[in-house]
Structure 1
Amino acid sequence: MDSTLSAYSDKLREMSVLSLICSCLYNQPHPNTFGQFEDMEVKSLNKRASGQAFEVILKSPTDPSPERPQTLALPPQRKEPSLGELQRRLEAAEARRRSQEKQVLKQLAEKREREKEVLTKAQEVNNNYSKKTEEKLNHKMEMITENRMARLNALKQRLREKEIHAEEVRKNKELNTDLSG
């Protein structure tokens, strides 16, 4: 099928060059059938303002026509491959499979390595964030503790001052009672 298609495309390429040459040489309209090949027929259509037009009729390879010889080209018979040839093909296929498997395993290993790197980096970022958060929390707790301690110390100081003052007041009262009494 591929060989037939490529043959048709080659003939069509030849046709465009052939039609160009003919249109340059002959300015008279061509007869209805421009050319016949073994498996296609080219007919000229009315000339248009944009240039010459052709109709290409492809004939089926199994369609016998009177102009065509009756000998049909049969596809070449395939010879049976030998056991050695089959073994060689099998080994080549196995080698390709192993090579593809190695490539896939290599790609998976690289992907796994990249994933490990990303995971490690994410853990580092998480650890750094946790450390910074913990440091901030500890700092706040220290500040709170220092503030409480400062208040406590201030309260103790006031209490001592009041006790001293109360002691002085008691002494003064005793002196006043002794003097007045």
Structure 2
Amino acid sequence: MASTVSAYKEKMKEMSMLSLICSCFYSQPHPNSIYQYGDMEVKPINKRASGQSFEVILKAPNDLSPDRPHSLCSPPKKKDMSLDEVQKRLEAAEERRKSQEAQVLKQLAEKRDHERDVLHKALEENNNFSRMAEEKLNYKMEINKENREAHLNALKERLREKERHAVEVRRNKEIQAELSG
């Protein structure tokens, strides 16, 4: 059945190319022309508005010529296998299974190693980020400490200036009181 379907598909491809070539020479297909491809007959049907149409007739298996194998009539015959051949096939299948299992295990190991590398990189980046954040915080705290100290020193200096000014004002008042009095 599968060979008939594949032959049908192949012949349809060939037929469309053939009909294209024929349509170049003949604008109207001959009403009685029949194309035969092995176990198929193709008859053109009246031309329609959507394009050409064909009727494909598949021959029954008994209509096939005797030189062609009757693949549709009987299933393929199984050859008798010896016990050694069966054992060899089983061993080969076991080897394929083991090989596939080893390949899957190898892929899983590679994936695990990759994930471990990604996790290690992420931890390194996290540590670097934490260290940089801590350094920035310490720097800002140092700057703030220096700013506070500078501010306190400025306040102390203004206080001293005011005290000097107050001492000077008192002295001037005492001098003025002595002079006036």
The TM tier, using the shorter chain, reads 0.5 to 0.7
Shift of 1:17: 7.3
Match of 1:81 in 2: 81
Give CA-to-partner distance per residue, 1:76-126, whole Å, 9 cap, x none: 322233222222222222222222222222222222222222212111111
Aligned to 2:101: 101
Task: Measure, in 2, the Cα distance between the counterparts of 1:55 and 1:35.
Answer: 10
| Aligned 1:157-172 pairs, distance under 5 A | none
**1:5 paired to 2:5:** yes
- Greater relative CO, 1 or 2 (CA 8 Å, sep 6+): 2
For residues 45 and 125 of structure 1, do their structure 2 counterparts lie closer, same or farther at Cα, with a shift above 3 Å needed? same
Structure 1: unaligned runs, 5 residues or longer: 163-181
Q: 1:133 to 1:18 in 2, by over 3 A?
A: closer
| 1:16 positional shift | 5.8
Equivalent residue runs for 1:3-152 within 5 Å: 3-12=3-12, 29=30, 31=32, 34=34, 39-46=39-46, 53-61=53-61, 68=63, 73-146=73-146, 151=152
TM-score scaled to structure 1, two decimals?
0.57
- Residue 127 of structure 1 deviates from its aligned partner by 0.8
Give the percent of matched residue pairs that are identical in Structure 1 and Structure 2: 55
Q: Where do 5+ consecutive residues of structure 2 fail to align?
A: 164-181
Q: Which amino acid in structure 2 is aligned with residue 89 of structure 1?
A: R
- 1:131 deviates by 0.9
Q: Aligned with 2:46: secondary structure?
A: coil
Q: 1:126 to 1:52 in 2, by over 3 A?
A: closer
Normalised to the residue count of structure 2, the TM-score between the two structures is: 0.57
